[in-house]
Amino acid sequence: MDLLRNMYVVGKGDHTGQFLALIDFDEDKKIYSVLGLPESDVMYISEHDINDGIENNVLELIEKLPDMIFNDCQSEFNHRKTINT
């Protein structure tokens, strides 16, 4: 299942109400690069945790992001990643 470009909302737990934009996936490490909104948090979340969240209804799919919005999220992720390292 191709999850990249999807926007999810967290429905339970410590991050309730936060939106997660799946930006990239590292095939070797099995880790997603994620932009957390609205704070523009840079996160790295394992494939297992993302799939578990979807299967247990912790993550609810909002939409597959349109190109323009995805590109903005990707740019913001890259910008935040750069200033946080």
Distance of alpha carbon 27 from alpha carbon 39, whole angstroms: 27
pLDDT in tens, 9-68: 999 988 899 999 999 999 999 999 999 999 999 999 999 999 999 999 999 999 999 999
pLDDT recorded at residue 22: 98
What is the pLDDT averaged over residues 72-85? 91
Residue 1 pLDDT class (50, 70, 90 cuts): low
Q: What's the domain range around 62?
A: 6-83
Contact 22, 29 (CB under 8 A): no
pLDDT recorded at residue 83: 87
Residue 51 lies in a domain: yes
14: CATH: 2.30.30
pLDDT higher for 73 or 13?
73
Residue 53 lies in a domain: yes
Residue 56 lies in a domain: yes
Residue 49 lies in a domain: yes
Structure tokens at 32: 């997603």
Residue 11 lies in a domain: yes
Distance of alpha carbon 21 from alpha carbon 64, whole angstroms: 9
State the Rg of the chain over Cα: 12
Residue 35 lies in a domain: yes
Residue 60 lies in a domain: yes
As for how many domains the chain has, the answer is 1
Residue 1 lies in a domain: no
